[in-house]
């Protein structure tokens, strides 16, 4: 896998502009199992990732691997059904490509979703968690080499709007800190106990770098976790990918309603 050339997102945006994909106001990155959000898009147009020069396919089960464009909540949006994870062997640049394309296309708001394990003992499978803070043990992304803080994710305005939308539509939501683990394997029970003491509420292998990159690009990002399983060691159940589909089936309508409400706001 090659390092992304710095102007690749720009070239992809130029390719999309040639197809008449202009005036994008918001973007959504759909986590595993959440691809059905694309059914909400009116006047939808779509291009499989592997037909976009400079873009790669996605191999994770539950990801469609296609880019959509159309109207949601009265606004022109881009939706990425499928993302690229570090644990699949992609470079950090490659994992950040969807965010960078969205930025190049003019999206200001970006909603970044994921399937995640629940660390917080009060969480249940199927909970939707508004990500209000990040934990990223060992990451270089949060600070510069001299230790100064880099881009700070502080989505208070989104949390307030999301609570508003959820209350209006009768959607139950949780709120908490997303802990970024690079994978590829799920965590050990001991790691999860440690992460709980550190203040993590959900754990997953994406989203944190994307949120920070969106901030770096001057966008206004917001992250949402779908809790697809209790994190390692909480129950005796063996963790596997099929849980993601089941949890997503339970909440995909609420998820789409919430995102649509936020886009509309
Ligand atoms: N850990 C890490 N990533 C995940 C999990 C988990 O328990 N569930 C879904 N993605």
Arithmetic mean of pLDDT, 18-30 = 96
pLDDT band, very low/low/confident/very high, at 104 (cuts 50, 70, 90): very high
CA 225 – CA 79 distance, rounded (Å): 17
Please report where in the chains the tokens 């400079």 appear, as a residue.
Answer: 54
Q: What is the DSSP letter of 242?
A: H
Arithmetic mean of pLDDT, 5-21 = 89
pLDDT at position 195, please? 96
Q: Is the pLDDT of residue 202 over 70?
A: yes
pLDDT at position 244, please? 87
Q: Kindly report which listed range (2-11, 106-115, 225-234, 245-254) carries the lowest average pLDDT score.
A: 2-11
Give the range with max mean pLDDT: 2-6, 103-107, 241-245: 103-107
pLDDT at position 1, please? 43
Distance between Cα 90 and ligand 1 center (Å): 18
Q: Kindly report which listed range (128-142, 192-206, 241-255) carries the lowest average pLDDT score.
A: 128-142
Pick from 193, 195, 204 the residue to mutate for probing ligand 1's pocket: most ligand atoms within 8 Å of its CB. 204
Reduced to 3 states (helix: H, G, I; strand: E, B; else coil), residue 245 is: helix
pLDDT at position 224, please? 98
193 class by beta-carbon count within 10 Å (0-12 exposed, 13-18 middle, 19+ buried)? middle
Q: At what angle do helices 97-104 and 208-216 cross, to 10 degrees?
A: 30
148-182 pLDDT, tens digit per residue, is 666 789 999 999 999 999 999 999 999 999 999 98
**CATH number of 8-264, picked from 3.50.50.60, 3.40.605.10, 3.40.50.150, 3.40.50.1580:** 3.40.50.1580
pTM: 0.93
Which ranges in 67-141 belong to alpha helices (H)? 92-95, 97-104
pLDDT at position 97, please? 95
75-98 pLDDT, tens digit per residue, is 999 999 999 998 888 888 899 999
CA 30 – CA 246 distance, rounded (Å): 16
Distance between Cα 240 and ligand 1 center (Å): 9
Q: Is the pLDDT of residue 242 over 90?
A: no
The answer, yes or no, to whether any atom of ligand 1 lies below 6 A from the CB of 31, is: no
Rounded to the nearest integer, the mean pLDDT of the chain is 91
CA 21 – CA 42 distance, rounded (Å): 14
Catalytic residue among 44, 56, 88, 136: 88
Q: Kindly report which listed range (26-40, 58-72, 120-134) carries the lowest average pLDDT score.
A: 58-72
Distance between Cα 183 and ligand 1 center (Å): 9
pLDDT at position 100, please? 96
């Amino acid at each position: 896998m090659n390092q992304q050339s710095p102007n690749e997102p720009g070239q992809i945006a130029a390719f999309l502009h040639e197809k008449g994909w202009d005036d994008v106001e918001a973007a959504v990155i759909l986590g595993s199992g959440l691809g059905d959000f694309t059914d909400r898009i009116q006047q939808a147009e779509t291009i499989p990732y592997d037909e976009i020069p400079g873009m790669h396919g996605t191999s994770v089960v539950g990801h469609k691997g296609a880019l959509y464009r159309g109207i949601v909540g009265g606004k022109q949006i881009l939706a990425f059904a499928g993302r690229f994870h570090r644990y699949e062997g992609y470079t950090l640049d490659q994992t950040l490509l969807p965010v960078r394309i969205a930025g190049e296309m003019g999206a200001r708001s970006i909603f970044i979703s994921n399937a995640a394990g629940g660390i917080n003992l009060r969480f249940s499978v199927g909970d939707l968690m508004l990500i209000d803070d990040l934990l990223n043990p060992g990451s270089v992304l949060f600070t510069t080499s001299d230790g100064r803080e880099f881009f700070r994710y502080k989505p208070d305005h989104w949390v307030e709007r999301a609570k508003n939308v959820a209350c209006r539509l009768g959607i139950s939501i949780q709120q908490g800190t997303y802990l970024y683990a690079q994978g590829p394997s799920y965590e050990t029970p001991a790691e999860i106990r440690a992460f709980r003491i550190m203040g993590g509420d959900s754990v997953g292998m994406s989203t944190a770098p994307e949120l920070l990159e969106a901030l770096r690009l001057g966008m206004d990002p917001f992250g949402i976790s779908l809790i697809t399983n209790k994190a390692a060691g909480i129950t005796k159940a063996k963790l596997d990918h099929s849980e993601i589909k089941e949890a997503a089936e339970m909440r995909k309508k609420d998820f789409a309603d919430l995102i649509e409400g936020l886009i509309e706001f």
